[in-house]
Each structure stands twice: as C-alpha cells, then as structure tokens.
Amino acid sequence: MAERILLIEDEEKMARMVELELLHEGYQVAKAYDGVAGLAQAESGGFDLILLDIMLPGLSGMEVLRRLRRTSDTPVILLTARDAVMDKVSGLDTGADDYITKPFAIEELLARIRAGLRKKTAPEPAKGGKEGGAVLTAAGGLLTLDVDRHEIKVKGEAVELTLREFSLLQYLLENKGRVLSRDSLLEQVWGYDYAGETNAVDVYVRFLRSKLDERFDLKLIHTVRGIGYQIREE
Ligand code: CA
C-alpha cells in the first residue's frame, strides 16, 4: 500500500510541483488549498504524513496544526517562509514534527518525508539482536525511556513527546555522561543535512526541559557552555 500524504498549500503551482514529485516517488497525494479544507481532510484521517504550509488563507497553518493535534498524531512537516524563526519555534511548540524552509530542494523534502514516515510506520528494531529492547534511565531511575515501546515515564507518569523530542532524548540518554555538540546532535538526531539550523537543537532542548525538567522538578539536561548539551547523573 502506498503511503498517503496530504499537502495543504495555497500556492497552486508549488502544490502541483510537489505533488508530481511525490507521485513520482510512489506516494498517494491529496491536496487542499486553504486551511479549512485542509483541516477537514486531515481530520478525516487515513494520512501517513501531512505537509502543511503556514501562510494559508482561511485558517492559518498554525491554527490547523493546533486543532489537528487535539485528535491526531499524524506526522506534520511545516512549510515555512525563509527566516521565519518564530514560525518554526511556535510550530514545533504546537506539535509539528519537523519543518522545511521555502524555497527547498525537493530532495531535502523527500528525505524529511522518508524520515517522518519511517518513525511513524516502522519503529526501528532494537539493534544487535537484544532481547526485550533497551530501557534507558536517568535521574537515578526516576526517568525511563523504553525504546521499543516508545514510552517515557517520569516518576511513574507517562510523558508525551513528539517523535523528534523522543529521538533527541534517546540519543542524549544513550550517550549519558558525554558532552554532545549541537552539530553532532543535528547529525545524529535529525539524520540529514540541517546545516545552519543548529538553533533547532536549542529549541528542542527547551521543549524537553519544559516537559521534563520543569514539570517534574528535575535537572536532567545540562548546558555545557560553548559546546552543547549533556545528561549526567548527579
Ligand atoms: Ca502559502
């Protein structure tokens, strides 16, 4: 079964170009040209991934995302205008899984779509044939991350993270005690060339701190000035 992608984009030429590329890659594609129609289609379900322009007539992309997230965790990649940092930040905050800045190379968009779909549809099997999969811990065992079940608990309470937040936390935990640079985090967690977007790391660390450190009164993720981030046991 071909994976189904919903494209919500009001610039029809642009939408058509992206659609042709996606069809060529073997995806099924549905399009909507404004926020209201896009939200209605998104809520009808059945999509594996949604590409969502932010500047839309009717209902803004951000509002579409906010409403959609009440009922759906379908991966969403935002299409943002160049340098609209605030869009990116509030988009990620609202529950987008990724964003790409216009104008983008189609190859880059395809890479991000594949990454988004991979995480959604096929959680990677535990490497090295480990039985039962890995459970990573921090804060003296107060936080547990179950890789196979894709679950995080803090003090016994389940915590909801976006796919990207989860991946970042997982990588930090797998390297507990090591200081990880922003560049290495981008490379390992985002998995493709995010050159010049190192502030994405800071943005996501902020999200994790808000969902973990602040909410549960922990001191999990440490900033190592001039280098990057580290999780260590106190
Ligand atoms: Ca637009």
| Distance from Cα 24 to the centre of ligand 1, integer Å | 23
* Cα of 11 from ligand 1 centre, angstroms: 6
CA distance 234 to 232: 6
| pLDDT score of 124 | 46
Distance 202 CA to ligand 1 centre (A): 27
CA dist list (Å): 102 to 7, 68, 109, 158: 15, 23, 10, 36
Which amino acid is present at 85? V
Q: Cα 130–145–191 angle (5° rounding)?
A: 80
Q: How many whole angstroms from 180 Cα to the centroid of ligand 1?
A: 36
Ligand 1 centroid–CA 103 distance in Å is 12
> From ligand 1's centre to the CA of 53, what distance in Å?
6
- Three-state DSSP at 30 gives strand
pLDDT value for 81: 77
Q: pLDDT tens digit string along 100-119?
A: 888 888 888 998 999 888 87
pLDDT of residue 164: 83
Return the pLDDT at 233. 79
Measured in Å, residue 123 CA sits from the centre of ligand 1 at 32
Give me the pLDDT at residue 125, please.
47
Looking at residue 127, its pLDDT comes to 44
Segments of the chain with pLDDT less than 50: 123-132
Rounded CA gap, 51 and 79, in Å?
7
Q: Which residues pair with 157 in a beta bridge?
A: 154
Euclidean distance between CA atoms 139 and 153, whole angstroms? 12
What is the residue type of 232? R
Q: Note residues around ion ligand 1 (Cβ under 5 angstroms).
A: 10, 53, 55
Helix (DSSP H) and strand (DSSP E) numbers for the chain: 9, 12
Task: List pLDDT tens digits, range 40-82.
Answer: 999 987 899 999 999 999 899 999 999 998 888 899 999 987 6
- Report CA(143)–ligand 1 centroid distance (Å): 41
- Report the separation in Å between the CA atom of 33 and the middle of ligand 1, taken as the mean of its atom positions: 9
* Rounded distance from Cα 137 to ligand 1 centre (Å): 43
Looking at residue 103, what is its pLDDT?
85
CB contact at 8 A, 48 and 73: no
C-alpha 41 – ligand 1 centre gap (Å): 17
| pLDDT at site 195 | 60
Instruction: Determine the Cα–Cα distance for residues 130 and 45; give it in Å rounded to an integer.
Output: 35
